[in-house]
A and B are shown apart, each in its own frame.
Chain A
Amino acid sequence: MKYLYLIFSNLKRKKLRTGLTLLSIMVAFLLFGYLAAIRQAFEAGVEVAGADRLIVRHKVSIIRLLPQSYEARIERIDGVDNAMASTWFGGIYQEPKNFFAQIPVVPEELFDMYPEYVVSDEGKAAWLATRTGALVGRGTMERFGWKLGDRIPINATIWGKKDGGQTWEFDIAAIYDGAEKGTDTSQFFFRYDYFDETRANGQGLVGWYTVRVANPDKAAEVASAIDAEFANSPEETKSEPEGAFIQGFANQIGNIAFIIVSIMSAVFFTILLVAGNTMAYTVRERTNELAVLKAIGFTDRGVLGLVLGESLALTLVGGVLGLGLAMLLVSMGDPTDGSFPVFYLPTRSLLLGLVLIVAMAFIAGILPALQAQRLQIADALRR
C-alpha cells in the first residue's frame, strides 16, 4: 500500500511529463490494436475455416471450371461426407468499389456444409421458395441498407445472360448471421438452378467444390484420393484444407503479417525510447530522494520495485487506455468502407497487448531501476 502511494505521488509531481508519456504509450497501443484488427481482416477466415472441409479446384488455374458431374464422383470417395459446388460470379453492384462475393449454390447443400451461417427456418423456406432469391450476410445487408424482399440488380462481368443482358436481378429472400465473431457475413448466395438456366454459356460447369470429410484427421488422405480420382483426366483437381486455401489467398495479397509486425516493431521501439528516457530522467532527478528512502530503511530491492512499479503503472494506464481506444475505433467500422469481410479486434490480440504492456514496462524501467538499486546512500546524498 505504501508503495502504491509513493508511486502515485511520484507520477503526480511532474504531471505534464507523466501525461505526455502516458499519451505516447497510449498511441502505441492504439496502433497495436488497430493493426491487429487490420491483420485479422486480411487473414479472415483462416481461423474459422472448418478443419473438416477441403477445397477442390482446377489444378491448372483457379479460373478453369470443373464439370458439375464431379460432385457425385467426389461423394463416392471413401471418407467424403458431402460435397458442394460453388462458382465465382464476380458481379458488380452499382460500382466496382462496392465489392462483395456473389456465389451460386444449392441452398440445401449450403445449409448442410456451413452451419456457421445461421439462417432462420422461415428464411430457409423463403429462399427455397424463390428461384431468384438470394441469401445475404448481415454485414452486406447493413452496408447497403438493404431490406428483406428488396430486388437487387447486379451487373455480370463474367456471366452474361442467355437473353444477351448483363444485369441479373435477385430478390433478397433471407439473411444469415455468423455463428462466431470471425464468420464472414459479407457474402451473397443465390440459387444454382437460376444461375445455370440463365447464364449464356458454361452450363453444367462450376468453379470449385467444398468437401466435408467424415474424419478431419484423414483430411490429407481424402484430399489425395480426390486428386487421384481425377488424375490424367482433362480436368485435373487440386485439393487442400479450407484453411490452407484461404491462407494461400491471403499470401497472394502480400505478407500482411510481416508488414504489420515490422510496423509494430518500429512503433514499440520508438515508444520504448520515449518511455525509457522518461524513466531514466525521473530517476536521475530524484537521486537524492531515493537515497533518503534508502537511508530511512528501504531495501535495495524495495527501491528497485518502486521504480519498476512506477514504470508499470505508467505503461499499464497508457496501454489499457490505448487498447480501449482501439476497440472503440475498430467498432466504429473499417477504414475501407466495408471492403473487409470482417473487422474486429480478436481477444487473442488483446491478451497479447496486455503481455506487451508488462514487457514494455519492464524493459523501459529495468535500467533506471537497477541504477536506483545500486545507489550508494552516502554518494547519492552528497550529490
Chain B
Amino acid sequence: MNIFKLSVKNLFYRPLSSLLSLLLLALGVSMISLLMLINSVVQDQMNNNLKGIDMVVGAKGSPLQLILSSVYHVDSPTGNISLMEARSIEKNPMVGNSVPLLYGDNYEGFRIVGTNKKFIELYNLSIENGSFWDNEFEVVVGKKIATKLNLKVGDTFVTSHGLRETGEAHTDTPFTVVGITNFSNSVADQLILTSAESVWGVHGDHTHDDEEHGHDDDKEITAMLIKFNSPMNVIKFPRYINENTNLQSAVPSYEISRLFKLFGFGIETINLLAYLIIIVSGISIFITLFNSMKERKYDMALIRTLGGSRLQLSSMLVYEALVLTISGFILGIILSRLGLAFISSLMESSFNYSLNSYGILNNEFWLLAISIFIGLIACLIPSIQVYKMDISKTLSNE
C-alpha cells in the first residue's frame, strides 16, 4: 500500500463521479485529437497527391470540381475537352510536363483512368508484380484495389460505363491485369490505370487499323495535369487559358486552400467546443475532489494521525486528479483512433478513400500537457486546503 495506490482505490470508491470526469475529459481529448488526425491525414494525402501538379486543365465548370475529380478522383469530371485543344496547350513553351487523363469506366466502383506513362512518373509508381501496360485493354491495378478485390496478374474483368458500379457493362471488351503497383500512398493506389487508347477503344472508335496518328480531331480527354517550366508561370498561364480558350484551368493549391478555408470555420467551432469540454471536465474533477474532501475529512485526519505528512495528504489528491486526467487522455486518444477508423471506413465505402494514420502526432503531446495542466489546476485548491487542514478541529467535530 502506498499513497498512489490509495488514490486509485479512492477513485474506484466513487466510481460514478470518477467516471463522469473521465468521460468528459476523454470526450474533449478525442474530439480534438480526431480533428488533428483528420487534418494531418487529409493534408498529407492532399499534398502528396498535389506533388508535381501546378495546374489542371479541363472542361468549363467549377474549378474545385475539376481539382477534386482529376487530382483526387472523388468528384465527377466537369466534362471532356478535345484532344486537339489539349495538344495545343501541351506545346506551349511555358508547360513543362503534362499528363492526360481520360475517364469513362469503372470496375466495382474503382475508376479506370486512361493516361500515358507520364502518369507513372508523376506519382513515382513502381510495379510490385507484372509490368506496366504495353497494349490496349491491359491495365495496371493500384495496390489497394488489388488487395481489396483480390486481383492478380492475368485476371480479366469487364468494366461498366460511368463512374459508378451500376453502369452498363462493356462485355465485349474485357481488360486484362498486367501489373500491380507498389503502395505509393497516393491516389494512384485506388485507381486502375490503362492507356488512353484503351478507353477510346471501349467506347467505340475502333479505327486504329487505318492510321494511328492524325486521327485525333474527334478524340476527347477529360483533363490534363500540368507542371510548369517555371513556378512564375502559375500566375500568368491559368488566366491566359481561362480568357482565351474554351477550356478551364484550375490551380490545385489555390482551390485546396479555398476548400480548407470553407471547412475552417466548422473545424474551429468543433475545436473550441472540445476545449470547452476539457475545461468542464477540469471543473468536474475539481467538484468531485472538493465534495469528497467533506466526506473524507475523517479519512484524511486519520492518515495524519497514522503518521502521514501534510505533503502526503496533498499528493493523494494530486494523484487522484492526475490519474483521472491521464487515463482520460489515454481513453480519448483510443476513442479518436476508433473514430478515425470509423470515418475512414465511411470514406472508403463512398469515395474509395481511406485515412490510415494511427501514430501519435506531435500536437497530441501538447494535448497531454494541457490535460495534465487542467488536472493540476483542478486539484490545486483542494490539495492546498488539505495541506492546511487542522486535524485537531476535524477530529473533535465528531
Same complex origin of A and B: no
- Tell me the A residues contacting B by CB distance below 8 Å: none
